[in-house]
């Protein structure tokens, strides 16, 4: 088998592999962001056949974003060789570690995580992935929540001068103020401009909301889509000043009300909560969980590439 890099010119002519929408997204995104796409060919010499592909992002460290092997050729070591080739390439580029993710409950998630572990990757973090859909049960659960507590909290916040606008409705002056406040008044680990400035993660502006006290941003939610069918709730954040005020609920309520009571093409909503994020985890357990149609666990893996690499969690500072 031969593993080689896909050039941008070749990518313009389309791939011989039939990839799912997520695969196409990651291949395009990787190429646009100067990452590397590796292709695995059988019969490298005569009549080569493309049997697998891997997307390796090289911005902010090396991350395997996607691996796909033609169904006919699975279980023959193609995926393993692509992952090993990606690790060698990242090492050549003097990256300290290479990262990857696997969703254990996905049809191939367990296989992929075993593959990673066999190559030497170690898990360093986990997150819950929640999926919601618009069905009679979620509608009922939402109506009950609003009747029991939601409407009362929102009315109280409105009486105290809070309001909600979507990013589609916000004018330039408000977005300018939002940009300034995000830098100074909101927790730094979330950066909405990572999505607002990105061409791949299309921000769905009429489903992303800013809660304002007067004209001061107090909380926001950021929603994106990759395939125009699934909305991904990427970020929910309250400013330092309004943490504990309940203002975070306003963007959620505005979002759900719009999702349930307007005509739109979206079928599913997904969101991810890191298990180490205590405040979001308690929000999840106390509030979001009843609405979820399923909850999956995403494992974050890393493989040290240099003699002395720091743990990928970025928090403990340990060498591995």
Ligand X SMILES: CC(C)(COP(=O)(O)OP(=O)(O)OC[C@H]1O[C@@H](n2cnc3c(N)ncnc32)[C@H](O)[C@@H]1OP(=O)(O)O)[C@@H](O)C(=O)NCCC(=O)NCCS
- Contact residues for ligand X (CB under 6 A)? 66-69, 74-80, 108, 111-112, 114-115, 118
Q: Number of helices (H) and strands (E), helices first, in the chain?
A: 10, 13
**What is the Cα 226 distance to its own chain's centre?**
10
Contact call for residues 203 and 194 (beta carbons, < 8 A): no
- DSSP string computed for 141-204: HHHHHIIIIIHHHHHHHHHTTEEEEETTT--HHHHHHHHHHHHHHS-TT--THHHHT-SSSEE-
List the Cα angle 38/40/45 in 5-degree steps.
Answer: 125
Nearest residue to ligand X on Cβ basis:
79
Closest distance of CB 73 from ligand X, Å: 7
Closest separation between CB of residue 121 and ligand X, Å?
A: 12
Cα dist from 214 to 146, 166, 195, 197, whole Å: 24, 15, 26, 26
Shortest Cβ distance from residue 69 to ligand X (Å)?
Answer: 4
Q: How far is the CB of 108 from ligand X (least distance, A)?
A: 3
Smallest distance from the beta carbon of 16 to ligand X, in angstroms?
A: 15
Q: How far is the CB of 128 from ligand X (least distance, A)?
A: 18
CB–CB of 283/102 below 8 Å? Answer: no
Give min distance, CB of 134 to ligand X, in A: 26
- Other beta carbons within 10 angstroms of residue 12's beta carbon come to 8
Q: Dihedral sign for Cα 38, 43, 45, 47, please.
A: negative
Q: Alpha-carbon distance 112 to 80, whole Å? A: 9
């Amino acid at each position: 088998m031969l593993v080689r890099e896909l050039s941008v010119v070749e990518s313009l002519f389309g791939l011989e592999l039939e990839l799912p929408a997520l695969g196409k997204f990651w291949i395009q995104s990787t190429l646009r962001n100067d990452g590397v796409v590796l292709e695995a060919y059988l019969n490298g010499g005569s009549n080569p056949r493309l049997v697998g592909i891997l997307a390796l992002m090289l911005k902010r460290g090396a991350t395997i974003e996607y691996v796909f092997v033609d169904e006919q050729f699975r279980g023959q070591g193609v995926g393993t060789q692509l992952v090993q080739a990606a690790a060698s390439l990242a090492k050549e580029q003097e990256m300290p570690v290479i990262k990857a993710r696997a969703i254990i409950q996905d049809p191939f998630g367990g296989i992929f995580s075993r593959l990673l572990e066999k190559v030497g990757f170690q898990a360093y973090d986990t997150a819950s992935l929640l999926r919601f859909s618009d069905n009679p049960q979620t509608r009922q659960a939402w109506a009950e929540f609003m009747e029991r507590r939601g409407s009362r909290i929102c009315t109280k916040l409105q009486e105290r001068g809070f309001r909600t606008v979507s990013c589609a409705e916000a004018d330039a002056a408000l977005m300018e103020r939002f940009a300034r406040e995000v830098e100074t008044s909101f927790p730094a680990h979330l950066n909405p401009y990572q999505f607002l400035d990105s061409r791949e993660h299309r921000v769905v502006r009429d489903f992303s909301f800013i809660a304002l006290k007067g004209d001061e941003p107090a909380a926001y939610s950021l929603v994106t889509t990759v395939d125009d069918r699934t909305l991904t709730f990427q970020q929910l954040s309250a400013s330092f000043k309004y943490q504990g005020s309940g203002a975070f609920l306003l963007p959620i309520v505005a979002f759900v009300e719009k999702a349930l009571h307007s005509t739109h093409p979206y079928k599913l909503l997904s969101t991810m909560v890191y298990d180490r994020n205590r405040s979001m985890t308690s929000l999840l357990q106390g509030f979001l969980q009843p609405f979820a149609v399923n909850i999956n666990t995403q494992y974050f893996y890393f493989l040290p590439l240099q003699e002395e690499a720091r743990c990928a969690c970025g928090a403990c500072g340990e060498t591995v």
